[in-house]
Chain A
Amino acid sequence: MPKTGEHWKTFLKGLWEDNPIFRMILGICSTLAVTNQVVNTLAMCGAVVFVITASSLIVSLVRKITGKRVRMAVYTLFIAAFVIMVDIALKAWVPTIAKAMGPYVGLIITNCIIMGRAEAYASNNKPLPSVLDAAGVGLGYAMSLLIIAVFRELLGFGTIAGLRVFGPGFEPWVIMVMAPGAFFMLGSYIWVIRTIQDRQAKRKVEKKRRAATAA
């Protein structure tokens, strides 16, 4: 039985070290598609965090009775069920957001991050660590999307979550809210984060080397 610290590490891994967007480069289509407005992005992130956590929990619970050959079918079944639940809930309570997100809610089913966590982690681990792992990766995805969305909406509309930030003299960069803007923004984001991570890694190596020579 791993200690609490281990669980915490599992959770944090998805946020930084194994972040799905800038480390694993998974789930990119939804990142490009729904990040032009913060409100829609929030709905998408909430939906993904819910679906990934719930499906990882179920997959982990039934891992001992899931046959090898039907495991993919089982994951898809549960993931699809949770996505449909989210879709119904959005349509019933926030129809304008449901309309704005259009086909992308249904496409969460094909989000490779979710299937990836089910196959790589939840299918071989106990429910608690599986949920933490899924929540970490889900929130890591959400964090990346929100950062991208804030910049795109700010530059493209001059607003954040619909609130005006720049004065009326601001000329919106229309390209930022269109598809090419998503590519520019995602590319720059991955570049900046990877540079920071590389520096971190170098510093670690340096420290180890110094410790070794001192000894």
Chain B
Amino acid sequence: MPFDKDNRLFMVGFLVIASLVVTAALSALYAVTEPIIEQQKARLFQVRVLEACGLVDHGAEPDDGEIDRLYARIEEVPHDDGRTLYRAYSSERREELIAEALEISGSGLWSEIRLLVALTPDGGSIHGLAVVEQGETPGLGGRITEPEFLEKFAGLELGAPPEYVGIVAYETPDAPNEINAISGATQTSKAVQVILNEGLATFPTTAQE
């Protein structure tokens, strides 16, 4: 019988074998690179902690040596609920506490948003904010990762619970705990407000009050 590539059985067999070969190749590649990717992710997370604690500027890309040097100022303390509290000190000797950061998360407009929020030691105002992960629309909600937005939180006074912070749209922020939402990304901005207000309620320094 002559070879026929359009034979139904052959086509199905060919597709199955091709899929298996491709899957095997990708799995092998993934297995090899997974530890590297995990390591890179952990690095990136450290940078986010440093950003939230104000030790690194938003958008700066410190190299590995710089990250290690600065991260020595961070103390990781296990929190009651299984999360980790990141305490930032002014120097590596860890004497003067400058901020305490905690990871908080919640749903954005399209995706889960994970934030790192740092408070001043007295728990009275936000020291800094960093975005760990988000999948909002690029160019709209995705702009919550931009320094222009994140820098507004540095030094923001906390209001009375449960409205710790207000991210306002269509009006001018007039209270000390309010900032402007991102134009064109009101929903994502509001989501950030909800995540912050719910998250801050679980903070050790604010929860004590």
A residues sitting closer than 8 Å to B (CB atoms) are 33, 62, 64-70, 73-74, 77-78, 81, 84-85, 88-89, 91-93, 95-96, 99, 102-103, 178-179
Contact = CB atoms under 8 A, between A and B. Distances in A.
B5 A66 contact: yes
6 contacts: A65-B5, A66-B5, A70-B12, A88-B30, A88-B37, A92-B37
B33 A77 contact: no
Given A65-B5, A70-B14, A89 B33 contact: yes
Contacts of A73: 15
A5 B104 CA distance: 62
Contacts of A77: 15, 18-19, 22
A103 B138 contact: yes
Contact of B61 (A33, A78, A92, A96): A96
Contact of B14 (A65, A99, A179): A65
Given A69-B11, A91-B40, A74 B5 contact: no
- By Cβ-Cβ distance, the 10 closest A-B pairs, closest first, are A67-B11, A92-B36, A92-B33, A81-B22, A95-B40, A70-B11, A67-B6, A92-B37, A67-B5, A91-B37
B187 to A, nearest CB: 19
Nearest to B3: A65
Nearest to A94: B40
Nearest to B145: A99
B26 A85 contact: yes
B207 interface: no
A81 B26 contact: yes
Contacts of B160: none
Interface in B7-27: 7, 10-12, 14-15, 18-19, 22, 25-26
B36 A67 contact: no
A178 B139 CA distance: 8
Contact of B10 (A62, A67, A85): A67
Contacts of B25: 81
A41 to B, nearest CB: 15
Given A102-B138, A103-B138, A179-B139, A78 B10 contact: no
Contacts of A95: 37, 40-41, 43-44
Given A78-B22, A85-B26, A91-B37, A69 B6 contact: yes
Nearest to A69: B11
Interface of B: 5-7, 10-12, 14-15, 18-19, 22, 25-26, 29-30, 33, 36-37, 40-41, 43-44, 61, 138-139, 142
Given A78-B18, A78-B22, 6 more contacts: A33-B138, A66-B5, A67-B10, A70-B14, A70-B15, A93-B36
A132 B139 CA distance: 36
Contacts of A96: 61
Contacts of B14: 65-67, 70, 74
Nearest to A178: B139
Contact of B15 (A74, A88, A103): A74
Contacts of B40: 91-92, 95
Contact of A88 (B11, B29, B142): B29
Contacts of B44: 95, 99
A93 B35 CA distance: 12
A182 to B, nearest CB: 11
Nearest to A102: B138
Contacts of B43: 95
Nearest to A88: B33
Nearest to A98: B40
Contacts of B18: 62, 74, 77-78
A78 B14 CA distance: 13
Contacts of B12: 70
Nearest to B39: A92
A186 to B, nearest CB: 17
Contacts of A67: 5-7, 10-11, 14
B130 to A, nearest CB: 13
